[in-house]
């Protein structure tokens, strides 16, 4: 293992779903490069991610992105202190691309290999944008595949508070968008159409109103939207998606602040693709009290990216928590 002094330089690789990314981060905080290739156009006609198409695209792009990230950082492989890759959760075939690439780099350069929980990495994203890492905090992870609430006590110390019992919130946005005929991905399209609502009335009921329940559920709301459209085919679609979005986001905000206030932890992190939603940010800010801090990454950092992989891995590097080449991928966290 090579020894270096001064700044710690890490290369992160991400290929868990439909973004391929390579990033160089210094000391777990400063991003030198963060190259991302999005596969959205490849999956649009299917209204969702096709695993075989995704893994093939990762394989085609990963080496080029690594070279671009190093060139942009003006660094060579020999300058790296560690290499990290997402190994869970995600699409198995896709995860293998980044992890096997990281293994090869680790072996060739004799530097530590670190496998990363994609969900933990998302919750680290705000600490790459000027916020000081500090634990514990309440973390809300919201995306197309995940809706979960955690108490994060430290690196690798995530305690699940509650998760969805059916659809993830991002999946519900995608399904409503598809049913209305907006397209894929649904989140930005639904948000944009909801802004056009003149009525701005919430006519769908609140979800899971029991204050002691920590779970999330979106299947019922999605079904309610579909049934409402069938019964009211001539109603303005903007008014319908406005009501849907308000109810979908209200549950997230309610669960977040309830968990924070019950635990006495007034620092919160909201991350994942749905965290880019502008209306969600408005609702959070309107609910937040002066003594409460809510960190949300910029929209770019809400997407899957390798900077968050390299960033959280620094916390493992300084604690000398490394992985062997026997590490494998997993569809589960």
CATH class of residue range 9-129+303-318: alpha beta
Domain 9-129+303-318 and domain 137-296 have a common topology = yes
CATH class of residue range 137-296: alpha beta
- Its pTM stands at 0.94
Long-range contacts of 287-290 (CB under 8 A, 24+ apart): 287/253, 287/257, 288/257
Tens digits of per-residue pLDDT, 31-53? 999 999 999 888 888 888 999 99
Q: Rounded to whole angstroms, how far apart are CA atoms 85 and 168?
A: 24
Q: Which residues neighbour 102 within 8 Å (Cβ) at sequence distance 6 or greater?
A: 11, 13, 83, 84, 85, 113
Tens digits of per-residue pLDDT, 93-137? 999 999 999 999 999 999 999 999 999 999 999 999 999 999 999
Domain extents in the chain: 9-129+303-318, 137-296
Q: Rounded to whole angstroms, how far apart are CA atoms 62 and 65?
A: 5
Contact 95, 16 (CB under 8 A): yes
Q: Rounded to whole angstroms, how far apart are CA atoms 313 and 129?
A: 16
Tens digits of per-residue pLDDT, 225-249? 999 999 999 999 999 999 999 999 9
């Amino acid at each position: 293992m090579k020894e270096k002094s001064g700044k710690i330089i890490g290369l992160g690789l991400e290929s868990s779903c439909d973004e391929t990314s390579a990033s160089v981060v210094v000391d777990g905080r400063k991003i030198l490069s963060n190259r991302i290739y999005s596969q959205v156009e490849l999956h649009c006609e299917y209204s969702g991610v096709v695993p075989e198409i995704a893994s093939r695209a990762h394989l085609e792009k990963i080496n080029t992105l690594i070279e671009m990230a190093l060139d942009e950082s003006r660094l060579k492989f020999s300058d790296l202190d560690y290499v990290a890759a997402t190994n869970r959760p995600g699409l198995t075939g896709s995860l293998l691309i980044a992890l096997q690439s990281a293994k090869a780099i680790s072996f060739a350069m004799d530097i530590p290999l670190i496998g990363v929980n994609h969900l933990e990495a998302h919750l680290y994203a705000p600490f790459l944008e000027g916020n000081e890492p500090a634990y514990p905090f309440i973390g809300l992870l919201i995306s197309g595949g995940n809706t979960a609430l955690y108490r994060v006590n430290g690196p690798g110390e995530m305690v699940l508070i509650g998760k969805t019992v059916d659809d993830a919130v991002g999946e519900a946005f995608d399904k409503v968008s598809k049913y209305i005929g907006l397209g894929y991905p649904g989140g930005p399209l639904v948000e944009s159409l909801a802004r056009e609502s003149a009525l701005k009335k919430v006519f769908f009921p609140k979800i899971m109103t029991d204050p002691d329940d920590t779970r999330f559920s979106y299947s019922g709301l999605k079904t309610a939207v579909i049934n409402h459209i069938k019964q009211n085919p001539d109603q303005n679609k903007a008014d319908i998606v406005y009501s849907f979005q308000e109810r979908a986001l209200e549950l997230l905000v309610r669960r977040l602040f309830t968990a924070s206030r019950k635990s006495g932890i007034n620092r919160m992190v909201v991350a994942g693709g749905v965290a880019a939603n502008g209306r969600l940010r408005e609702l959070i800010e309107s609910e937040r009290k002066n003594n409460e801090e809510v960190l949300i990454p910029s929209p770019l950092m809400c997407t899957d990216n390798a900077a968050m992989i390299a960033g959280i891995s620094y916390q493992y590097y300084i604690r000398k928590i490394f992985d062997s080449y026997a590490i494998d991928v997993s569809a589960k966290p």
